[in-house]
Amino acid sequence: MDTLKTKEQFNELINQGKVIFVFSADWCPDCRVIEPFYPEIIKAFPEYTFMMVDRDEFIDVCQAHDVFGIPSFIAFDNGKEIGRFVSKDRKTKEEIIQFIQGLSA
């Protein structure tokens, strides 16, 4: 999974097809727990571009999109937000998969 480099990149990606932003931070233990599952999840959903967003580096992006807990996920399809899995709670692999499957429902 690529890591977001600039706020401009974030704004461009929102409008380029289906993208899921994964908000995380190096110090977040709940984020580290689910990290090993990302390759499998990414492979299962090839129609999406996945982009890691460092919460500390892009706090303004987090605030603009009401992301106050990590790990969190926000999905866009050609500029329109189609779903969010945002909470302060630890997420499981199964919950993440259910969230993504629900995006196309």
Instruction: Answer yes or no: 62 catalytic.
Output: no
DSSP 73: E
Instruction: Answer yes or no: 31 catalytic.
Output: yes
Which entry of 19, 28, 62, 100 is annotated as an active-site residue?
A: 28
Contact 32, 70 (CB under 8 A): no
Which entry of 4, 14, 20, 31 is annotated as an active-site residue?
A: 31
Burial of 29 (0-12, 13-18, 19+ CB in 10 A): exposed
Catalytic residues, by residue number, are 28, 31
